[in-house]
Amino acid sequence: MAHALWRAHGDRCVWGSDWPHPSQTHIPDAAALVAALAQIAPSETERQRLLVDNPQRLYRFA
């Protein structure tokens, strides 16, 4: 589902792992979440957009 969302609206997606999971009784495997990035945004350019460029634009860091 995340990959389909990325393909449809990649210019408006940002990555969020919800770390440190303060209100959860089950803590997700952080390594698995990070590994999922390769499936969601396969290229380095896509990961740059997802992890850096889109959040920068959304939160007006630049």
Q: In tens digits, what is the pLDDT along the chain, a chain of 62 residues?
A: 888 999 999 999 999 877 777 777 888 888 898 899 999 999 999 999 999 999 999 999 87
pTM flag (> 0.75): yes
The HSE-up count of residue 11 (CA atoms within 13 Å, CB side) is 0
Residue 29: per-residue pLDDT: 86
Query: Is residue 62 a part of any domain in this protein?
Result: yes
pLDDT of residue 25: 83
The number of distinct structural domains making up the chain is 1
Domain of residue 59: give its range. Answer: 1-9+30-62
11, 18, 29, 53: which is the annotated catalytic residue? Answer: 18
pLDDT at residue 46, rounded to an integer:
96
Known catalytic residue at 11: no
In a domain, 47, yes or no: yes
Query: How many Å apart are CA 42 and CA 56, to the nearest integer?
Result: 20
